[in-house]
Amino acid sequence: MSGFYQYNVVTFCNDAYYPFLIPFLKSLFAHSNDSINAVYVYNTGLHLDNEREVLSRFNFSEPPINFLPSGICADDLLKIHGTQWQKIVYSKAELFKNVIRQKSMLGMRPTAMIDVDTLFIGDIFKFYDVLPKQHTWEISPCYRTFNLHICSHIGSFVMAKATDWVTEEFIPRWIDIMTTMEQTPKESPSLSRAVFDFKLGLHGGKILSVPEYLFSSVIGFPVLDDTCAIHMKSDGANFCSVEERMNHPQVEGYIRRYQ
């Protein structure tokens, strides 16, 4: 490891999204193994047999994988913006805050919240490793480089340090906006609003926005030489099923490698 930190990774998985989990973990470890302290997977409806299969597929030379209870059991995520989909997506920020608060478990290391339908094709942590150690960032959301008309930031990748400002001010503000917002979707627009609100104040220097094309490039969009991750998300109209998304020409070769 060449940087200042080791990092934690938090994701969320149920049985419907389980096919994404092995490629997520294998590709993450293939590119960032030495930079990871631990991976935390919130169980949002994942069968115990699938948890056991994951643990059996990885060995002691790799970072530990820890399954955490979420209090949510949604057995179907295939309907985008459906009731169960919303239940998980709109709980992510609260669960992220809870795991960051457990500073003794995380060892005060930065923690990345990343959607499980992400495939890694490079080291996502190299960007942070080259920042000056005195940099004041505490939370690092991903800003849109495509579809800017929707909102400025996306909730599929957020890095945070275990600070009181993150857990007591920024994330609670994000949650407050999300829970009072009438529009759907809510997660990314509410994150964008929270970033905007704090950027205007004294805490603007604590927010480090990173580009979407590096950390969460959507399938179908250009993959550049320094792109580190592809988000196999559905737009609700195209590539809706898990199979369609994993068989997309842009990622199918990587999926075969990391299954």
Where do the domains of the chain lie? 7-117+125-212
What's the topology of domain 7-117+125-212?
Answer: Spore Coat Polysaccharide Biosynthesis Protein SpsA; Chain A (3.90.550)
**For the CA atoms of the chain, what is the radius of gyration?**
17
The answer to whether the CB of 41 falls within 8 A of the CB of 12 is yes
The answer to whether the CB of 20 falls within 8 A of the CB of 258 is no
- In whole angstroms, what is the distance from residue 213 CA to residue 219 CA? 11
% of the chain with per-residue pLDDT over 90: 58
The reported pLDDT for the residue numbered 23 is: 97
pLDDT in tens, 27-53: 999 999 999 999 999 999 999 999 999
pLDDT in tens, 50-77: 999 999 998 777 889 999 999 887 665 5
pTM attached to this predicted model: 0.91
35 vs 234, residue with greater confidence: 35
Residue ranges with strand state E in 52-177: 65-69, 111-114, 118-120, 139-143, 153-160
pLDDT in tens, 151-185: 899 999 999 999 999 999 999 999 999 989 887 77
